[in-house]
Amino acid sequence: MPVLYSYTAMIPSLPPSTGPIGVFDSGYGGLTILDKIRGLMPEYDYIYLGDSARCPYGPRSFEVVYEFTLQAVSKLFELGCPLVILACNTASAKALRTIQQINLPVIDATRRVLGVIRPTAECIGEITRSRHVGILATAGTIKSESYLLEIHKLSPDIVVTGEACPMWVSLVENNEYQSEGANYFVKQHINRLLDKDPVIDTIILGCTHYPLLLDKIRQFTPGHIRIIAQGEYVARSLQDYLNRHPEMDARCEKGGKCRFLTTESENKFEESASIFLGRQDIKVESIALE
């Protein structure tokens, strides 16, 4: 993964703080992660930041995803977040490790940035029986092989097969995920995945948009195959992390509040957020990242 030292030097050191848990995504899909986290831990404060003006991240280079993600993490740190969750598979795949290893020691070694790939990888060894696992994700996540690497760190015997589904995010964001037209694209990629490895008994949805397609995915997937959506596993992993790190838990404010930020227009975000959260009362602020 590329390391951009020049950008690191531009970021000032920030003082220790207490504040909300930050949740970042390139757009709207991370709202499915936030929803599960808030469902499990409603007492905490949260800031959700969606870089909707520059999404999707999937087709972008490692360097650009890293730069954009670091800008977002830095903004959330400036807003007081001691802990940030990258609720975006592409950002987790292309930027997380560099930010953890290179940037955090410069910005503030007491803060933490966590991703969504590791928590999902940790559960797979106990779920699959055939030891053959499929990944449905964006082209960027599949190309990074992040799921393969993380799963093999924990369960090197598991065979991991990926299938990029470039149309699925558009189906969700254009509110076409329940349409008959979506059937073709969902069935096509599931069939391709199972053609590559017919022994797969577990499929990970490696994109935060894909839970909205879950009904269609199940419709075209053999019944014996288990479908894993990330939200509940990320939420449990975060809860476990805070239980194991009381010093970080003490820095996470608990007032049950949630703030929504977007780099797009407020109205556009509110409209799209209603699809992911199933509610209309989202109040959003527009910000700039640089």
- Dump pLDDT digits (tens) for 152-204: 999 999 999 999 998 898 888 888 888 888 999 999 999 999 999 999 999 99
User: Buried b / exposed e across 89-125, counting CB within 10 Å, b at 16+?
Assistant: bbbbbbbbbbbeebbbeebbeebbbbbbbbbbbbbbe
Q: CA–CA separation, 136 vs 101, rounded Å? A: 28
CA proximity to 136, closest of 69, 40, 216, 65: 216
Annotated binding-site residue? 32: no
Residue 252 appears among annotated catalytic residues: no
87 with 57: CB under 8 angstroms?
A: no
71 with 289: CB under 8 angstroms?
A: yes
Annotated binding-site residue? 179: no
Annotated binding-site residue? 90: yes
Helix (H, G, I), strand (E, B) or coil at 226: strand
Amino acid symbol at 87: A
- Dump pLDDT digits (tens) for 66-105: 999 999 999 999 999 999 999 999 999 999 999 999 999 9
Q: Which domains are assigned to the chain?
A: 21-115+232-286 (3.40.50.1860), 118-230 (3.40.50.1860)
CA distances from 174 to 23, 57, 94, 170, 271 (A): 23, 17, 25, 6, 11
Residue 55 appears among annotated catalytic residues: no
Annotated binding-site residue? 209: yes
- Dump pLDDT digits (tens) for 5-64: 334 444 445 555 799 999 999 988 899 999 999 999 999 999 999 999 988 887 888 899
The whole model's pTM is what? Answer: 0.87
35 HSE (CA, 13 A, CB side):
20
253 with 41: CB under 8 angstroms?
A: no
Annotated binding-site residue? 208: yes
Query: How does residue 276 score in pLDDT terms, banded at 50, 70 and 90?
Result: confident
Question: In the beta sheet, which residues pair with residue 203?
Answer: 134, 227
Spot the catalytic one: 55, 81, 123, 207: 207
Q: Say what the pLDDT of residue 278 is.
A: 74
- Dump pLDDT digits (tens) for 209-233: 999 999 999 999 999 999 999 999 9
Helix (H, G, I), strand (E, B) or coil at 286: strand
Spot the catalytic one: 88, 123, 165, 252: 88
Residue 189, phi then psi, degrees to nearest 5: -80, -30
**Complete DSSP assignment for 138-186:** -HHHHHHTHHHHHHHHH-TT-EEEEEE-TTHHHHHHTT-TTSTHHHHHH
**Torsional class of 224: left (φ above 0), alpha (ψ -120 to 50), beta (otherwise):** alpha
Annotated binding-site residue? 18: no
